[in-house]
Amino acid sequence: MPERIEWLEDGTAGGSPYSPRFGDRYRSEGGGLDQAKDVFLKGCGLPGAWAGQLQWCVLETGFGLGLNFLVTWAAWKADPQRPRLLHFVSLEAFPASADDVYRSALSHPELIPFAQALKDQLWGLLPGFHRLVFEGGQVLLTLCIGDAKAMLRELAFEADSVYLDGFNPRLNPGIWDVFTFKAVARCCRRGTRLATWTVARSVRDALTQCGFQVEKVPGTPPKRDNLQGEYQPAWTLKKSRVLPARRTPAHCIVLGAGLAGAAVAASLARRGWRVTVLDAAAAPAAGASGLPAGLLAPHVSPDDSVLSRLSRSGIRATLQQAGALLTQGHPGSDWQASGVLERCLDHARKLPPAWQPGALLADAASDWTVPATPAQLGPCSLPTDSPALWHVRGGWIKPSSLVRAWLATPGVTWRGQAKASTLVRQTSGWQVLDATGQELGTAELLVLATGHASGALADSTGMATPLALQAIRGQASWGLHAKGTAGAMPPFPVNGHGSLIPRVPLENGMAWVAGSTFERDNTDTGLRPEDTAHNLGKLQTLLPAQALAIQADSGQIQGWAGIRCATPSRLPALGPVQGQPDLWVSTGMGARGLSFAALCAELLAARLHGEPLPVEQRLADALLSQYATGLASAANE
């Protein structure tokens, strides 16, 4: 359940929010706007302190109703000297509903447009990190849902400003104790400024003990004093807590113009990099990303595994990108957030116990995945008691459309028919050569995103440990709708034993897409009649009525084959290559390229620039270990 809030009538447009849990107001009697501006923004020297910076990172210990974030975002947008990127990382153990967050801004008309944009993304806030994206990717809010101390342990960045906020220390002491402040200090650099409204002696003493120099300053009425400080410990900081330096954008070459490579190019370009994307094919998305349409649906497991959690974070990232860059809702659409029905044929797909109806996380989980209803099973001609799940945020996307949109990002240049064969480390970066020894380009940074071919390219550098990548051949079947198929199709995709995307608008008509096969260690892209039969056989089990309609019109069935790349664990491989400075890899996404490409690109950019990560540290580190022993240590070199 979202946190319960009582709204007290005080004459303002929205009323005054009150927490029954803590017996305290969310904001001061004056409405909170002055407190947000004077206590936190000005208390940290903003906006002046961030003038001319490439990025600025704010850490907040209590998100509450988001007022401090909205005020900081508004100040960033109004400042001509603003940093290129604003990161705002906020902790919250008891998230309020999107409606309450929006309502809290009604008494401040200048914040309402910002609050509406925030409300639109406040869904599915299960425990863990949630990356929300605004201003075309230049304002990034990372909401960390859970106990403050646990969430702080998962952070790995250096904050420029710290907002210590939360309910009164007497009522919520856990967020104001020395252990919390030690964890906050771990996220600070020398000179990080801190601000808070409380001047309690216990808070001042704990902050001093953790290395902050603090002082009381005149407060915002009705408070007499506020507290400001700076992280200046008297001791020498341990080298183990030194994080990667913030890198200055330069030139990067990305090898591979599929989903993985195009996503990396766009993420780096948004941060100011000049990116050249090289690909062996004559057109982008010519490999595995050339599938006519692909499914977007989260992985679900009863223990909410690493794969499940990463898939949700990845889908949120992809939905943000698709919503900003692609078109939907008309005959020429590139994607559709239609929802996806997953039919549980092989075994019952169980939801985590805390997601069950009436359980603690049921409301947040219902934004992601719920048991399918008879109303969803009916259009599929399935019995109303069929075991199935409904993925609320699922849908389909044309991968090639997303690739082209990413490659159109300002700062990205794409070159086709440029097949890399050898990588040569030079003093100032990397040189890429073709099979004849001709130079294709040089750059300070090189990213491998060529699927299973990334292994051979990495080997050309002389790396000691080969990448554990496997080629996976997949053949999908598709066809244009005929009279016998159009009326038999459900209005949304279905998966679980193969898959069916029922309505994909193509240049020559509306099509269906089914499949695909999954054959390890095979790189043949020739079409096989037996694979078409295999796809239709699985569809016959998944959706008998739809399969019969398609088979009746079998003369129209066509095929597509491509080679995907997977790791032994089914998790992507993302990180720096050990022993090879400025060489990174982003690959191994298997059949979930649409789920993982955007997330991996943002993870790469975040690690490269010392930014806050979009997922918990342990989830990000799980990707580092997928393809080389000791790779996690390479990320911290």
Q: Per DSSP, what are the bridge partners of residue 229?
A: 194, 214
In this prediction, residue 41 has a pLDDT band, given cuts at 50, 70 and 90, of very high
Q: What is the pLDDT of residues 299-328, one digit of tens each?
A: 999 999 999 999 999 999 999 999 999 998
Q: Which residue has the tokens 């859970």?
A: 146
Region 249-262: what's the mean pLDDT? 98
Q: Which residue has the tokens 């116990």?
A: 353
Q: What is the pLDDT of residues 555-567, one digit of tens each?
A: 678 999 999 999 9
Q: Which of 68-77, 385-394, 503-512 has the lowest mean pLDDT?
A: 503-512
Q: Which two tokens stand for residue 380?
A: 């599929």
Tell me the C-alpha distance between 194 and 113, whole Å. 28
Q: Which residue has the tokens 């999908």?
A: 476
Task: Compute how many other C-beta atoms are within 10 angstroms of the C-beta atom of residue 428.
Answer: 10
Asked whether the predicted pLDDT for residue 240 surpasses 60, the reply is: no
Sign of CA dihedral 76, 78, 79, 80: positive
Q: Which two tokens stand for residue 294?
A: 């692909």
Tell me the C-alpha distance between 332 and 12, whole Å. 46
Q: CB within 8 A of 632, min separation 6: which ones?
A: 575, 621, 624, 625
Tell me the C-alpha distance between 567 and 565, whole Å. 7
DSSP assignment of 42-57, as one string?
GGGTTTGGGTT-SEEE
Tell me if 587 sits within 8 A of 454, measured CB to CB: yes
Q: Which phi and psi angles does 149 have, rounded to 5°?
A: -65, -40
Tell me the C-alpha distance between 377 and 371, whole Å. 11
Tell me if 587 sits within 8 A of 469, measured CB to CB: yes
Give helix 259-270 / helix 593-609 axis angle, nearest 10°.
40
Tell me if 581 sits within 8 A of 560, measured CB to CB: no
Asked whether the predicted pLDDT for residue 634 surpasses 50, the reply is: no
Asked whether the predicted pLDDT for residue 196 surpasses 90, the reply is: yes
Task: Compute how many other C-beta atoms are within 10 angstroms of the C-beta atom of residue 290.
Answer: 18
In this prediction, residue 190 has a pLDDT band, given cuts at 50, 70 and 90, of very high
Q: Which is more confidently placed, 318 or 481?
A: 318
The percent of residues above 90 in pLDDT, for the chain, comes to 83
Region 202-226: what's the mean pLDDT? 94
Length of the chain measured in residues: 637
Task: Compute how many other C-beta atoms are within 10 angstroms of the C-beta atom of residue 347.
Answer: 7
Tell me the C-alpha distance between 24 and 4, whole Å. 13
Tell me if 628 sits within 8 A of 578, measured CB to CB: yes
Look at residue 553 in the predicted model and tell me its pLDDT. 66
| 3-class DSSP assignment, residue 520 | strand
Tell me if 109 sits within 8 A of 80, measured CB to CB: no
Task: Compute how many other C-beta atoms are within 10 angstroms of the C-beta atom of residue 630.
Answer: 12
In this prediction, residue 630 has a pLDDT band, given cuts at 50, 70 and 90, of very low
Side chain identity at residue 473, one-letter code: R
Average pLDDT in the chain: 92
Asked whether the predicted pLDDT for residue 29 surpasses 80, the reply is: no
Region 512-517: what's the mean pLDDT? 93
Q: What is the pLDDT of residues 326-373, one digit of tens each?
A: 998 777 799 999 999 999 987 778 899 999 988 999 999 999 999 999
Rounded-to-10 torsion of CA 456, 461, 467, 473: -20
Q: CB within 8 A of 120, min separation 6: which ones?
A: 98
In this prediction, residue 151 has a pLDDT band, given cuts at 50, 70 and 90, of very high
DSSP assignment of 111-124, as one string?
GHHHHHHHHHH---
Q: What is the pLDDT of residues 515-540, one digit of tens each?
A: 899 999 999 999 999 999 999 999 99
Tell me if 139 sits within 8 A of 88, measured CB to CB: yes
Tell me the C-alpha distance between 410 and 405, whole Å. 11
Distance from the first to the final alpha carbon of the chain: 43
Closest C-alpha to 97, from 72, 71, 115, 74 = 115
Q: Which residue has the tokens 């998944």?
A: 542
Q: CB within 8 A of 162, min separation 6: which ones?
A: 44, 58, 59, 60, 61, 184, 187, 188, 192, 193, 194, 195
Q: Which phi and psi angles does 213 have, rounded to 5°?
A: -95, 115
| 3-class DSSP assignment, residue 36 | helix
Q: Which two tokens stand for residue 129?
A: 């990190």
Q: Which is more confidently placed, 466 or 138?
A: 138
What is the spatial order of strands in the sheet that 274-278 belongs to?
Answer: 412-415, 274-278, 251-255, 445-448, 583-587, 573-576
Q: What is the pLDDT of residues 388-430, one digit of tens each?
A: 999 999 999 999 999 999 999 999 999 999 999 999 999 989 9
Structural domains in the chain, sorted by start = 6-241 (3.40.50.150), 251-287+400-469+568-634 (3.50.50.60), 293-397+471-566 (3.30.9.10)
In this prediction, residue 636 has a pLDDT band, given cuts at 50, 70 and 90, of very low
Region 209-226: what's the mean pLDDT? 92
The model carries a pTM of 0.95
CA 414 to chain centre: 24
Q: What is the pLDDT of residues 425-455, one digit of tens each?
A: 999 899 999 999 999 999 999 999 999 999 9
| 3-class DSSP assignment, residue 169 | coil
Side chain identity at residue 618, one-letter code: R
What's the DSSP call for residue 589? B
Look at residue 163 in the predicted model and tell me its pLDDT. 98
In this prediction, residue 188 has a pLDDT band, given cuts at 50, 70 and 90, of very high
Biggest CA pair distance of the chain: 81
